[in-house]
């Protein structure tokens, strides 16, 4: 990578936009692409590099794909007008969605066939950390790939966990983290509402449990949303049927029984069925509250 690195970010949602901004701030030449044209225009107004993909693709050093899932990732990389076919040999692709490890390996093999490097790089941290360039990235790939993407990793991440040389390991670690995070959020909802049936109010729950052995990172992060009755979606309920679905699919392929994950998955599916999919994932508590006839803070009786 000689001179100023030339980067394209695909997917300017809340995570991708922040990562693209972080690349700009780090002095990288940064193109932003999204299906929403007005978002692309807004990014260019803020300093994003101009040009259609077909005009700039062969000059790209790095491509960052920050879309929702595996299907969107594949479409960006290999769909109609897919970017990989337009890249020069030696360019590097960094894929940030939570995807199955086998999918990551398949994408990497197809990139390799075109001489394109692939970093399996799921991200964690939310939109605020994305905008601040302070994400956690669980990444796996060859040393060459890490080197090629160093300017992008430096610009976007506070912590890069190098899980190994083999594509798939990053996605595997992300799915392990999502198993825990998804179960912990739902268990927080189960415990907070169980406490309410015994006269423990949510404020006392947070005050006491956050100082006890029953605490978790997710409990401390999400339970205050319930206390405040604020379900503004920092991270949506909808993420969990997808991410725990990946965990359970991978587990099934491995002959691995994951009964606690499966129980949590069902609660998220109830939440979606109740129309809560677009709310913050702390709204999992509403499933328990509605089932048990409890009134959470901020709810109309």
Contacts with 82 (C-beta within 8 Å, 6 or more apart), sequence order:
75, 76
Decide: 41 and 62 in contact? Cβ < 8 Å. no
* Catalytic residue check, 252: no
Q: How far is CA 175 from CA 20, 39, 181, 182, 243, in A?
A: 24, 30, 10, 10, 7
Q: Helix (H, G, I), strand (E, B), or coil: what is residue 214?
A: coil
Asked if 104 interacts with a second copy (CB under 8 A), we say no
Contact flags string 124-153 toward a second copy, x per CB under 8 A: xx----------x-x---------------
Q: Would you say 185 and 284 are in contact if contact means Cβ atoms under 8 Å apart?
A: yes
Least distance to a second copy from the beta carbon of 188, Å? 7
CA distance 69 to 151: 24
**Smallest distance from a second copy to CB 251, Å:** 6
DSSP β-bridge partners for residue 30: 7
Task: Report the 10 Å Cβ neighbour count for 118.
Answer: 25
* 263: contact with a second copy by CB under 8 A: yes
| Residue 98 makes contact with a second copy by CB under 8 A | no
Could you tell me if 259 and 191 are in contact, meaning their C-beta atoms sit under 8 angstroms apart? no
Task: Tell me the site size for a second copy, rule CB under 8 A.
Answer: 70
Residue ranges in 196-235 that form contacts with a second copy under rule CB under 8 A: 197-200, 204-205, 208-209, 211-219, 221
Least separation, in Å, of the C-beta of 38 and a second copy? Answer: 31
Q: How far is the CB of 104 from a second copy (least distance, A)?
A: 11
- Measured N-to-C along each axis, helices 37-45 and 14-25 cross at an angle, to the nearest 10 degrees, of 20
Q: Is 39 helix (H, G, I), strand (E, B) or coil?
A: helix
Residues in Cβ contact with 204 at an 8 Å cutoff, skipping those fewer than 6 apart: 195
Residue 296 near a second copy by CB under 8 A:
no
Query: For a second copy, which residue of 82, 195, 233, 297 counts as binding (CB under 8 A)?
Result: 195
Q: Is 112 in the site for a second copy (CB under 8 A)?
A: no
Chain-centroid distance, C-alpha 250: 18
Residue number with CB closer to a second copy (57 or 135): 135
Q: How far is the CB of 120 from a second copy (least distance, A)?
A: 12
Q: Which of 174, 211, 242, 252 is catalytic?
A: 174
15 binds a second copy (CB under 8 A): no
Q: Which of 26, 150, 180, 274 binds a second copy (CB under 8 A)?
A: 180
User: Computed from CA positions of residues 126, 132, 134, 139, in that sequence, does the dihedral angle turn out positive or negative?
Assistant: positive
Active-site annotation, residues? 174
Residues near a second copy (CB under 8 A) are 101, 124-125, 136, 138, 159, 161, 163-164, 166, 168-169, 172-173, 175-181, 183-184, 186-188, 190-195, 197-200, 204-205, 208-209, 211-219, 221, 247, 250-251, 254-264, 266-267, 288, 291-293
């Amino acid at each position: 990578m000689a001179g100023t690195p030339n980067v394209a970010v695909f997917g300017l949602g809340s995570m991708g936009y922040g990562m693209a901004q972080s690349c700009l701030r780090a002095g990288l030449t940064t193109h932003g692409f999204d299906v929403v044209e007005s978002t692309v225009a807004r990014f260019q107004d803020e300093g994003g590099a101009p040009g259609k993909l077909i005009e700039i693709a062969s000059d790209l050093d790095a491509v960052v794909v920050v879309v929702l899932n595996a299907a969107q990732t594949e479409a960006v990389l290999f769909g109609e007008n897919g970017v990989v076919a337009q890249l020069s040999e030696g360019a590097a692709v960094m894929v940030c969605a939570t995807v199955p490890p086998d999918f990551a390996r398949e994408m990497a093999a197809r990139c390799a066939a075109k001489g394109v490097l692939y970093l399996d790089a799921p991200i964690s941290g939310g939109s605020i950390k994305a905008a601040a360039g302070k994400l956690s990235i669980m990444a796996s790939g060859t040393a060459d790939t890490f080197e090629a993407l160093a300017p992008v990793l430096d610009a976007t991440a506070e912590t890069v966990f190098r899980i190994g040389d083999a594509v798939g390991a990053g996605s595997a670690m992300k799915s392990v983290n999502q198993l825990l995070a998804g179960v912990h959020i739902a268990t927080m909802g189960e415990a907070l509402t169980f406490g309410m049936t015994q006269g423990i109010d949510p404020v006392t729950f947070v005050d006491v449990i956050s100082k006890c052995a029953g605490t978790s990172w997710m409990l401390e992060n999400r339970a205050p949303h319930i206390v405040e009755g604020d379900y503004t979606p920092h991270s949506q309920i909808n993420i969990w049927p997808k991410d725990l679905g990946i965990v359970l699919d991978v587990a099934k392929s491995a002959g691995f029984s994951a009964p606690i994950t499966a129980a949590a998955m069902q609660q998220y599916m109830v939440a979606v069925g109740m129309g809560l999919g677009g709310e913050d994932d702390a709204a999992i508590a509403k499933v328990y509250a509605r089932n048990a006839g409890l009134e959470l803070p901020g709810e109309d009786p």
